[in-house]
Amino acid sequence: MGLLLDVAGSHGASLNEVLMVPPPPPTRSYAPVSNRDLVDLIDERTDKIVGLPVKSRRFGLSQKGQQMFGTYTFDVGDAERGLSIGFRNSYNKTLSVGIVTGASVFVCSNLCFSGDAFKVVKKHTVNVWQSVTEIIDTAIMAAATNYQALDADFCAWKAVEVQEARGAELIGRALYDGVLAPQQATIAMADWRNARHEQFADRTAWSLYNCYTEAVKKGPAGAQINRSTGVHDWFRGQHQQAWRTAA
């Protein structure tokens, strides 16, 4: 599944479980956003703006139910990919409300998001709901554009050959740059050496990228969106000509 909850205290959840977690009481300086209101708003806006059939909905809870996150994947008629929306919320002030749009790779349920598509509510003040509505509308209205930008990256990366040694070097560089944690780099290296999915066995930048997106499933579930956007933006920044030169 797109949300891999590979950390203690995190688990996949039903919509009902997500909605049953009670929000904390508001204070003078803090106004919580309820999971119910957030999910209802995303449902309403995606139905109105996206207008595509939903292929899957996934929800998760972490930190004893105080963090909530989810993904919707929409069928765009592509056998390999779908348009994906990721979102998060918390009741313990550990995560701001956030939403991002991008793509999902069906073969391995990997999420692909870019940082410029990630919208976050900065403050939970008394007017927070207006801010939430604005960022969700902005993100969803840009969903098609964000998906097309990712698709262009994917098509370009499929055409770039990367020799095995060069791929290993780039994984090491990602570790050095802090894009991958040590355990994630180990996962990426194992997948690059021996692809777990036949579709990614070719020695291309696209196959290498999927090693990264597989690896960043490992870690705190509430931060998965951040890890996914960080990987994509870093990977995009690695000039394709450098791969060709070293290949």
Contacts of 91 (CB under 8 A, 6+ apart): 21, 23, 24, 32, 65, 66, 67
Distance of CA 107 to the CA centre of its chain: 16
User: Mean pLDDT lowest for which of 79-83, 158-162, 178-182, 239-243?
Assistant: 239-243
pLDDT of 13 reads: 87
pLDDT greater than 50 at residue 1: no
Query: What's the average model confidence in pLDDT over 17-43?
Result: 93
Nearest alpha carbon to residue 205 among 156, 246, 157: 157
Domain coordinates of the chain in residue numbers? 11-153, 155-246
Over residues 183-193, the pLDDT tens digits come to 999 999 999 99
What's the confidence (pLDDT) of residue 127? 83
Q: Reduce the secondary structure of 79-101 to three states and give it as a string.
A: CCEEEEEEEEEECCCCCCCEEEE
Q: pLDDT value at position 241?
A: 52
- Say whether pLDDT at 36 is over 90: yes
Choose between 4 and 140: higher pLDDT.
140
pLDDT computed for residue 218 by the predictor: 85
pLDDT of 104 above 80: yes
